[in-house]
Structure 1
Amino acid sequence: MAQSPKAEFEAIYQGAHIPWDIGEPQPALAELVNAGWCVGVVLDAGCGTGELGLAVARRGHTVTGLDVSPRAIELARRKAAERDLEARFEATDITELTGYDDAFDTVVDSGLLHVLDPTAQERYLGVLRRVCRPGGRVAVLCFADVPGARTPGGRGLTEARLRELFTDGWEIEAFERAGVLGIIPEGLGEQSEWPKDDRGRTPMTGWRLRARRRKTD
């Protein structure tokens, strides 16, 4: 029997190798954070071990990080304590999230959307629409499905699919190609042979989308 998504990710976070945990926020989203793009109360959706959410908290924002993996949340809380940063981290399935209505001015998503199946993607967008205040903003970094893309597991999204997801209740403000860094172990065939940067991280093919929640539907 195949593992549930929760069990799959919990097993990865319990292990020694977390391919997407590069020890810092993904540069494509760190750029936005450092430029002051985040405003108000912030949700880090699919926060993992908390690097992005903690970078936002360091700038003085109230931050909530949510992830399906209890182990990831444990690691994020540990990082927050070690860095003396205030952030709330909770284990939950964000596609089934209740509460938090109109709670957030900004949502950042570093690699969550592309791991969800199509039905879960639609549930997730429904949650974002509910928890993001009218006029609030969302930034998503995900793998891209484009010719010649370098992405693991065929998890990339097409431009058409992303635009479809962010139609009802959203205004897309920016849509652009962006790199996604990961640490790919040896023994994965072609993926292990992909180029690496000077820190052993593999640049992969992604999208960075920024959208704003419409004030009226």
Structure 2
Amino acid sequence: MSIVDPDEAARRLAADDPTGWFERLYAAAASGAAVVPWDRGGPHPLLVDWLGERELTGTALVVGSGPGSDAELVAARGAATTAFDISPSAVAAARERFPGSSVDYRTADLLAPADEWRHAFDLVIEVMTVQSLPPSLHPAATASVAGFVAPGGTLLVVAFAASDTDGPAAGPPWPLTRAEIDAFAAGGLTEVAVEWLDHRWRAEFRRE
């Protein structure tokens, strides 16, 4: 069996198809012809650390949920959790991986989200999703993520970090600059904390 190099496949596909390549990769992974490079077999460590021992209430949305591990962690802490991915194969794989899960897994497009999701979630988790899109799509994707946060709600963003003086990245991913992290505060969100942790951003915002 020939295994596809997922990074090379991503670079080729993203050049002409900035969102459709996710489905191609997840479909190939489902057939055993590829591996998903960001499937770490568990929730992201920076999300785990941020949550600590806290219990959650209210509603949560996990953006670009992929394998589902982040969504399952958030749900296990008590939040009524919705998770979405643009890839139907990713959603199917998450449901299969976590049978009986309380997470509401859906297929949806970050760049064209459901109207009822606007200002609808008490906690929004964005881990490495905006950075997977070409920089020209970052402003629209960022605004969409920020728009999910309900009044009084919190947004957590985790992304690879780039300095404002770095040259263009070959991508994907396309690491986010500090200016791009700050852009999540548009539309009524307030910055709570922005941390640089081992070349990654972990940023928290709140809608007052």
The reply to whether TM is greater than 0.5 is yes
For 1:71-94, what per-residue CA distance to the aligned partner results, in whole angstroms no more than 9, with x for missing partners?
Answer: 11011111221xx32111111111
Q: Which runs of 5+ in 2 are unaligned?
A: 1-12
Tell me the secondary structure at the aligned position of residue 111 of structure 2: helix
| In the alignment, structure 1 residue 88 sits paired with structure 2 residue 104 | yes
Match for 1:132: what amino acid? V
| In the alignment, structure 1 residue 161 sits paired with structure 2 residue 180 | yes
Candidates 11, 28, 46, aligned match of 2:24: 11
Partners of 1:80 and 1:170 in 2: CA distance: 33
2:194 counterpart residue number: 175
| In the alignment, structure 1 residue 142 sits paired with structure 2 residue 159 | yes
Match for 1:43: what amino acid? L
| Within-5 A mapping of 1:14-53 | 14=27, 15=29, 16-36=34-54, 38-53=56-71
1:123 counterpart residue number: 140
For 1:120-147, what per-residue CA distance to the aligned partner results, in whole angstroms no more than 9, with x for missing partners?
Answer: 3222333334331111100010010038
Partners of 1:209 and 1:152 in 2: CA distance: 24
Return the TM-score normalized by structure 1.
0.76
Partners of 1:115 and 1:102 in 2: CA distance: 24
**Count, aligned residues:** 185
2:203 counterpart residue number: 209
Q: 1:135 to 1:49 in 2, by over 3 A?
A: same
Match for 2:190: what amino acid? E
Candidates 123, 126, 130, aligned match of 1:106: 123
Higher relative contact order (CA 8 A, sep 6+): 1
> 1:139·1:211 contact (CA, 8 Å) conserved in 2?
yes
Candidates 74, 79, 96, aligned match of 1:78: 96
Partners of 1:178 and 1:152 in 2: CA distance: 22
* Range 95-104 or range 133-142, more displaced: 95-104
For 1:75-119, what per-residue CA distance to the aligned partner results, in whole angstroms no more than 9, with x for missing partners?
Answer: 1111221xx321111111112102223320000011102122344
Tell me the secondary structure at the aligned position of residue 138 of structure 1: strand
> 1:53·1:65 contact (CA, 8 Å) conserved in 2?
yes
User: CA RMSD of the aligned region, Å?
Assistant: 2.3
Tell me the secondary structure at the aligned position of residue 201 of structure 2: strand
Q: 1:118 to 1:6 in 2, by over 3 A?
A: closer
For 1:53-84, what per-residue CA distance to the aligned partner results, in whole angstroms no more than 9, with x for missing partners?
Answer: 01111122211001111111011111221xx3
> 1:28·1:208 contact (CA, 8 Å) conserved in 2?
yes
Q: 1:45 to 1:25 in 2, by over 3 A?
A: same
TM-fit CA distance, 1:33? 2.9
Return the TM-score normalized by structure 2.
0.79
For 1:12-55, what per-residue CA distance to the aligned partner results, in whole angstroms no more than 9, with x for missing partners?
Answer: 21223111000001100112234327542000001011110011
1:197 counterpart residue number: none
